[in-house]
Structures are given as C-alpha cells and as structure tokens.
C-alpha cells in the first residue's frame, strides 16, 4: 500500500490539502451533473434509490463489471436512459449516481452528482 493511499484512508481531505498531498481518483469515477437523469430517461425499477453503503460498495468496485454484478449490489435502477446505456440511482440526500454500460452490457464506470 502506498503512503498516499494510507493517508487517503486516515486523514480528512482538508488536512491532505493543507499538506499538499495529491489525491488520485480512479479514472472511471467522475463527479458531474451528467449523473442526473435526462428528460429522455424513463422510470425503471422500484424507485427506492440506493443507500449510502451501496454507493460505498460501487465506489470501490473495479471496472468493467457485468450488469448482474451491478444490479446484485444496487438493485434495480430508478431510471434508465433512452438508449439503455445508462442506469440512474437516487442517493439518500437527493443526489444521483449514473452507471454507464457499453453495447455488450458491461458496466464501464459511474458518475455521481451530490446536489447543491
């Protein structure tokens, strides 16, 4: 385990910034407004959203993942894009997570929008 990763797990982000540590996020994760369902997305699944612990599981996955691996962990999505390549899950505080898939139905990554 690298020293940076150890710091990431032990120190609050504000302390890391003060001491000039570089934080490397996985390339597959982005934090963007694109995680919000578009007007063409349609309701799908139960609409119950996901719990914080489920988002934590998602954020620690290595991609690609199969569709069933994602839905086994997160359940049915709250919405799906019209092209069927993005599933949307609502977070407890009103944000959204979008899981993107390739044409072969493998999850290639995710993005998150936490509101505000």
Q: What is the pLDDT of residue 99?
A: 97
Q: What is the pLDDT of residue 33?
A: 56
Paired with 89 in beta bridges are 97
Digit-coded pLDDT (tens) for 3-58: 343 333 433 433 334 444 444 444 445 455 578 887 778 887 667 899 999 999 99
Nearest alpha-carbon partner for 110 in 79, 94, 93, 89: 89
Q: What is the pLDDT of residue 56?
A: 94
Q: What is the pTM of this model?
A: 0.70
- For the chain, how far is it from start to end, CA to CA, in angstroms? 34
Report angle CA 66, 69, 74 to the nearest 5 degrees. 125
- If one counts every other C-beta atom within 10 angstroms of the C-beta of residue 54, the result is 17
Digit-coded pLDDT (tens) for 52-98: 999 999 999 999 999 999 999 999 999 999 999 999 999 988 899 99
């Amino acid at each position: 385990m690298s020293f940076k990763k150890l710091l990431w797990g032990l120190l609050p982000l504000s302390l890391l910034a003060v001491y000039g540590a570089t934080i490397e996020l996985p390339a597959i994760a982005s934090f963007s407004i694109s995680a919000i369902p578009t007007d063409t997305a349609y309701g799908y699944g139960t609409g119950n959203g996901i719990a914080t612990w489920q988002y934590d599981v998602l954020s620690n996955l290595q991609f690609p993942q199969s569709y069933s691996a994602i839905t086994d962990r997160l359940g049915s999505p709250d919405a799906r894009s019209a092209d069927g390549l993005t599933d949307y899950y609502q977070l407890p505080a009103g944000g959204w997570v979008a899981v993107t898939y390739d044409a072969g139905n493998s999850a290639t990554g995710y993005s998150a929008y936490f509101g505000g």
